[in-house]
């Protein structure tokens, strides 16, 4: 983070809530927003990598960092995958700073297993924190912004959701995580359409960075460079500039988009688009459908490889 004397103004006057804001990407985002003048609500339960335990310490540490550098921040320790926790996140922003302008949904953990070993509890836990943990804060923030718009105070609001290469391409051993992150993409597209009338823009990122969730699973890919002066492409701080811009008023007109962010690279993802098509204008037989499909696949683009933490 920059020093107070070098603080930017891109987000001056804005209030930003970051879920999972105490470590990894969330911490980097919170510090980067504060460095651009935002007042920040740092949400984090302080759980372990698999979601066990809880501690207010990690969120408070980030708040202390921000304040030490001349910024303003408060901690929020509620569980954003519950209605009360998500509602209190919005309430904390309003109580502390009088407004909420940007929501960054980032919280998550892993329960990795191959599908034949993945049990129901591990599926539900990951779906809960990643997908429900996106929906509930989004829903409560959106309700606040809709009320503001209907009261004649149209917001200039932003939501930045966090998907993954696993959600875009799948990831072996992460069926629950991949499904949840794919769900985040669908939620993003619907929210962008539904909330536009209230002055809310909604986008998603698919980051690749070194965090607690990736440094073990993709240890070789995520390793820091050996030399001190080399560019650390997997540092989570590399992703935050895009998130800050998407969360600022400067991103006006950008909504319903998905971006990959890794190192110094930003990619606009195209998503599902129609490819080769055959139309019989009548009902196919199974054999004829298969023959037509084979011909279509022969001229279609091959699928991208399964995500490997790149």
- State both tokens at 132: 């429900």
Catalytic residue among 88, 163, 171, 177: 177
Task: Check if 164 is active-site.
Answer: yes
Which pLDDT belongs to residue 53?
54
Alpha carbon distance 181, 269 (integer Å): 15
Full-model pTM: 0.90
Q: In terms of C-beta density within 10 A (0-12 exposed, 13-18 middle, 19 or more buried), how is residue 36 classed?
A: buried
- Cα separation, 3 vs 6, in Å, equals 5
Q: How far apart are CA 235 and CA 228, in angstroms?
A: 13
Which residue among the candidates 88, 181, 240, 251 is catalytic per the annotation?
181
- Examine the residue annotation and report whether 150 is marked as an active-site residue of this protein: no
218: number of CA atoms within 13 Å, CB side? Answer: 20
Strands ordered across the beta sheet of 157-162 = 73-76, 39-43, 15-18, 102-104, 157-162, 200-208, 258-262, 265-268
Number of C-beta neighbours around residue 246 at 10 A: 25
State residue 133's pLDDT score: 98
How many alpha carbons lie under 13 Å from residue 247 in its C-beta half-sphere?
A: 36
Query: Reduced to 3 states, what is the DSSP secondary structure of residue 60?
Result: helix
Nearest to 112 by CA among 172, 156, 52: 172
What is the number of other CB atoms lying within 10 angstroms of the CB of residue 281?
4
- Cβ atoms within 10 A of the Cβ of 155, count? 19
**Mean pLDDT split into 10-residue runs, the chain, 310 residues:** 64 98 96 98 80 72 97 97 98 98 96 96 97 98 98 98 96 96 98 98 94 55 68 92 98 98 95 95 98 97 78
Active site residue 181: yes
> What would the two tokens of residue 40 be?
């920040």
pLDDT score recorded for residue 210: 77
Given the residues 88, 163, 164, 171, the one annotated as active site:
164
């Amino acid at each position: 983070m920059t020093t107070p004397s070098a603080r930017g103004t891109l987000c001056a006057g804005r209030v930003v809530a970051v879920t999972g804001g105490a470590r990894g990407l969330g911490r980097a985002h919170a510090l980067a927003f504060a460095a651009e003048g935002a007042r920040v609500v740092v949400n984090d339960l302080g759980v372990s990598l698999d979601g066990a335990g809880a501690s207010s310490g990690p969120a408070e540490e980030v708040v202390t960092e921000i304040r030490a550098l001349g910024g303003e921040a408060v901690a929020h320790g509620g569980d954003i995958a519950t209605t009360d926790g998500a509602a209190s996140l919005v309430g904390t922003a309003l109580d502390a700073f009088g407004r909420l302008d940007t929501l960054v949904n980032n919280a998550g953990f892993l329960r990795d297993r191959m599908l034949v070993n993945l049990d129901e509890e591990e599926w539900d836990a990951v779906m809960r924190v990643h997908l429900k943990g996106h929906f509930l804060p989004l829903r409560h923030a959106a309700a606040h912004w809709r009320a503001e718009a209907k009261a004649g105070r149209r917001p200039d609001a932003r939501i930045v959701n966090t998907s993954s290469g696993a959600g875009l391409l799948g990831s072996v051993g992460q069926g629950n995580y991949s499904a949840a992150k794919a769900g985040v993409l669908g939620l993003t597209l619907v929210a962008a359409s539904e909330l536009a009338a209230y002055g809310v823009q909604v986008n998603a990122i698919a980051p690749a960075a070194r965090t607690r969730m990736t440094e073990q699973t993709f240890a070789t890919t995520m390793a820091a460079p050996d030399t001190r002066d080399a560019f650390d492409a997997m540092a989570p701080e590399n992703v935050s500039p895009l998130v800050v811009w998407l969360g600022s008023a400067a991103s006006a007109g950008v909504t319903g988009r998905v971006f990959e962010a890794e190192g110094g690279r930003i990619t606009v993802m195209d998503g599902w688009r129609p490819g080769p098509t055959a139309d019989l204008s009548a009902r196919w037989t199974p054999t004829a459908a298969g023959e037509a499909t084979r011909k279509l696949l022969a001229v279609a683009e091959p699928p991208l490889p399964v995500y490997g933490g790149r």
